[in-house]
Structure 1
Amino acid sequence: MSGRVEQPVKNPVEKYLNIIGMPLALIVFLAILFMPTPEGLTVQGQRALAVFWLAFILWLTTPIPVWLTSMLAIVLLALTGGWDYKQAFYRFGEEVIWLMVAAFIIASALERTGIGKRIAYKMAYTFGRKASTALLGLIILNVVLAFVVPSTTARAAIVLPIALLIAEAYGAKPGESRFGKLLMLQQPVANNLATAMILTATAPQIMAWGFLYTMAGVEIPWLTWLVAQAPIIIITMILMWIIGMKLWKPEVKEPLGGLEKLKEEMAKLGPLTRDEKSALAIFALVLFLWATDQWHTQIFFGLKIPFSVVAVIGAILLFMPKIGPLKSWKDAKVPWDLMIFSAGAYAVGIAISDTGAAQWMARKLISAAGLSEGVNPYIAYAILLGIMLYIHIIFSSKTVRTVIFIPLYIILAQSLGIPPVMIALPAAFVISWTISLPFNCKPNLIYYGTGYFNVTDELLYGLIVCTIGYVLYLTVGWAWFNFLGSIGFIPGWTG
């Protein structure tokens, strides 16, 4: 889980958008606000729509921080009469905000104890005895770490020194070694795909969960997300490992100098500390309660513990004296800028929905696209999923793409007569597929900095993996999601 509102390195397109963003947003805002009210749209809906488009453009072009845009949007909703100000400010108390606060506290505890590093060294030493298994082992390591270190950047920081030690053991040199190139290329891809498999592994996925809950009335259990994603992610990882070894066949099959340095680093960690044990125990409890969400009433004699409440219970235990490893609030790294950004995003999204502006806009978009109610859900699924998957090449921020596309997809699905979960949930599944260019996310940039691969290498590998994933979502994924929906495992999926 990212510790701040995501601020990746900007590409040339994004730098240009920075320049034109503010004047464009103001022009569009004023034009919508003062134009004659269109037929089918209320005056309040028109005002909410003006605020929505201002926020949309500012979030997309980022001339000011995204959290500042959220604050501005909430104030403008109140000042223009686009929505009741109490409703706008109420978004700071949304359940999903509490869920994210608790999730960041849990992430802080796991990061502070260093349990992820211990797991990483052990797995790397076990798998590192052959080139092929070393490559596969670090892919698996990224998956394991995604459960216990819910931060893409923190996982990259843990795995990078281990990957460098393995590269050294195999005699790999930056810019020369095929093994080194593949080793470093696979890490950010595995990091991001592992994130995509686990709902709580990054904040934008939790935000998407919140939009589905607040705008569509669908609560996706933690285990449902994992089970739905696992086949696609696992198959993709296996294929990317095989294809990677075909494209960049390792020159050396076994380490040249052994793995003594890894063994030395493992020895330095010593035995498990009390803090590591308590953090692991509390996290295991949280995972158990999340994974058994659908069976709580049977396990706890009729008691159902909500998803967000489980996270807050975990956060409380981590701070509890003589129980948890966190000693004071300073130990918790909660990014309040992300909470403000999220609250504003929910305020704008719900405002245009409640005032009917979203439905009016969706009807216009559907009419312009030549679509109508009753369109084949698979066609809509394929087109909208493809847009969400590949748009990361242009717009890097997971957070901004979540805020823009997930509410839009929910509204479009409702207007087309398609259950929103059939469009918005798959879109949420690919939020973290930011794997094509160094500036797409921080892990990509971290591994790019090693010098083992260039931009063209990453673009080639990223597009290959994205296309594998897209084909799998269109085939295996669609069949799998429909099956899970038919047995009631994915709420609201009625395909």
Structure 2
Amino acid sequence: MMTRTERHAAKQSKIDIWMQQLSMKTIVIIGIHVLMMVAVLFIDALDYRAKISLFAFLSAMTLWVATKISAGFVAIALIVFIILMGAGESELLYHSLSEEVVWLMVGSFIIGEAVKVSGLAERLTLFIWSKSNKKTNMLFGLSSVLFTSAFFIPSTSGRAALSMPIINQIGRNFSAKEQSVLAILAPVIILMSTSATLIGAGSHLIGIGLLKSTTDQSISYIQWFIWGVPFTIVISLFSVLWIKWMLWPKDESEEIENLQSEEKANYQKAMNGKEKKTLMFISFLIAGWMTESIHGYDIAFITMVGAILMMMPHYGVLSWKQGINAVSWNLILFVAAATALGRVLIDTGVVQWIENEMLGILHLFTGSPEWLIVLIILLITVTSHLYITSHTTRAIVFIPGLLLFSETIGVDPSTVVFLSLVGMNYCVTFPVSSKALLLFYEEAGISYDAGNLLKISAILMPVYIGVTMLFYFTFWQWTGMHF
């Protein structure tokens, strides 16, 4: 029989073995969680529910970036954690599947599959391929197509959904490492091109609506076009070059195979019935998206209508089974839980607390030089995607406060709204920061690593702020923008 000393030694030995098995990375992650918990506990302005919600959100961000644990598992587990800790009701989990973004993505997957099945994806791929003799040229060709789509499809997730089958098609001629770069490049260019047009994002229309109702000023489509297009061309070009330099494998061949005679024939032949039908449905979708303010149905509902049309028996492009199987349900659950994590920050008052703290800081800069005020506005709006994951919500939360700030210090409100909306369009740090990024994250075909996205953002974010400031003090002021 073991003595007390021997039992203590045996127990201590097991603890030592367990500690040795823990990797340094695990210990660092645990340490970060302890520091986050202590920091959150000392925020007196937040109540118990808000502190638990903020800790859960910070934990999710850490685990998504620093570990290989399934992002969906992390999101759902932390929603359950919030409920078990008494900071939320069980409906938080159930209602997460009723979020608009969930149905938007379900419809987007089905539409993307229809584009692939009909042959349109292959046709567009062969078109890009026929114009390229090197992989680099193909990257720029693909980026140009994605950039142009911003003028016709007023939904970043819609553009991402339609680009997914094209990326998968092109990816067949690339290595696994190159495919992961394509999976980051596509959503990043889609997001960077958002500022090119007034209809590039719903948040633009919300911001302009708030500007008009508050100050009776507005920004016309043409004025936005003049300001937005040159800026988005520059920042999109830098994004392509930075992603290629940072992530593109250096040991891969630049050459790509020429189109075979059979592929050339497929590219040059007339569209078949399925392609024409898909093109007609997509035209209907684009028209529905662009006229949302007229008919009153939101983008997610219109997307689901399009998905149903694609799956209609006898008249559609694919079967119900094909459409449902095309949906990445793992990703859908992740999106639902991640969106709920973001929403609980609003419901518990965390976002309101952040907004109040920031506006309090802003008022300290009354009378400051112009460049400093512009920089502060951009720092707040560009980084807002880190704690408010919904693009629309960012506009609703920040634009009223920034309009009030502009009136207080005597700054032109149109300028503040435009700079703020352009700043909020930056959301390239975490997969949860944008629906377009989510669509490519953990996708069964081509996907990317969240850590690489964070590396890209570490340089892209300050460059984005710098380019925006450069445009403000040069081109935008030359074309009528003033403070």
Give 2:218's aligned residue. none
Structure 2 CA distance for partners of 1:84 and 1:67, relative to 1, 3 Å: same
Length, aligned pairs only: 390
| Residue of structure 2 in register with 1:430 after alignment | 426
Structure-to-structure mapping, 1:16-415, within 5 angstroms: 20-21=28-29, 24-25=32-33, 28-29=36-37, 38=44, 40-41=45-46, 45-62=47-64, 63=67, 64-86=69-91, 89-125=94-130, 127-128=131-132, 137=141, 139-143=143-147, 150=161, 154-160=165-171, 191-196=186-191, 230-236=229-235, 261-268=259-266, 271-294=270-293, 296=294, 303-332=295-324, 333-363=326-356, 372=364, 378-384=374-380, 403=389
Gaps of 5+ in 1: 1-14, 165-182, 200-204, 245-255, 297-302, 389-397, 435-439, 449-454, 487-494
Over the aligned positions, Cα root-mean-square deviation in angstroms equals 5.7
Q: Do the aligned partners of 2:113 and 2:165 also contact (CA within 8 Å) in 1?
A: no
For residues 2-39 of structure 1, give each alpha carbon's deviation from its aligned partner in whole angstroms, at most 9, with x where no partner exists: xxxxxxxxxxxxx976654356436755885xx6993x
Distance in 1 (CA, whole Å) between partners of 2:104 and 2:383 is 28
Task: Specify whether residues 55 and 193 from structure 1 end up closer, same or farther in structure 2 by C-alpha distance, changes over 3 A only.
Answer: closer
CA distance in 2, matches of 1:401, 1:317: 37
| Offset at residue 341 of structure 1 (A) | 2.9
- CA-CA distance at 1:384 after TM superposition: 3.7
Q: CA deviation at 1:317?
A: 0.4
Question: 5+ residue gaps in structure 2?
Answer: 1-22, 154-158, 195-199, 213-220, 244-254, 407-415, 431-439
* 2: CA distance, partners of 1:265 / 1:442: 30
Q: How far does the alpha carbon of each residue in 1:263-319 deviate from its partner, in whole angstroms, 9 at most, with x for none?
A: 54222565433322222211111012212334x3xxxxxx43322221111011011
Question: How far has the Cα of 1:327 moved from its partner?
Answer: 0.5
Alpha-carbon contact 1:97-1:343 (below 8 Å) kept: yes
**Equivalent runs, 1:457-468 vs 2, <5 Å:** none
Larger radius of gyration: 2
Counterpart code for 2:60: L
Percent of residue pairs identical? 17
CA distance in structure 2 between the aligned counterparts of 1:320 and 1:118, rounded to whole angstroms:
23
CA displacement 1:147-179 (0-9 Å, x = unmatched): 777366644443356789xxxxxxxxxxxxxxx
- Tell me the alpha carbon deviations over residues 446-466 of structure 1, each in whole angstroms, 9 at most, x when there is no partner: 899xxxxxx9xxx9x999987
* Matched residue SS, 1:150: helix
The residue that corresponds to 1:9 in the other structure is none
For 1:345 and 1:66, how far apart are their aligned partners in 2? 9
Shift of 1:52: 2.3
Deviation by residue 1:170-213 (Cα, 9 ceiling, x = unmatched): xxxxxxxxxxxxx99997886345322567xxxxx99x979x99
Give the structure-2-normalised TM-score. 0.59
- TM-aligned CA deviation for residue 140 of structure 1: 2.8
Q: TM-score, normalised by structure 1?
A: 0.57
Change in CA separation of 1:140 and 1:411 when aligned onto 2, cut-off 3 Å: closer
**Aligned-residue offset at 1:111:** 2.5
Cα shift readout 1:311-358 (whole Å, capped 9, x = no counterpart) = 111011011112221212343422333333333334333333333343
CA contact (8 A) 2:57 2:342 kept: no
Shift of the alpha carbon at 1:471?
Answer: 4.2
Residues 468 and 263 from structure 1, CA distance in 2 versus in 1: closer, same or farther, beyond 3 angstroms? farther
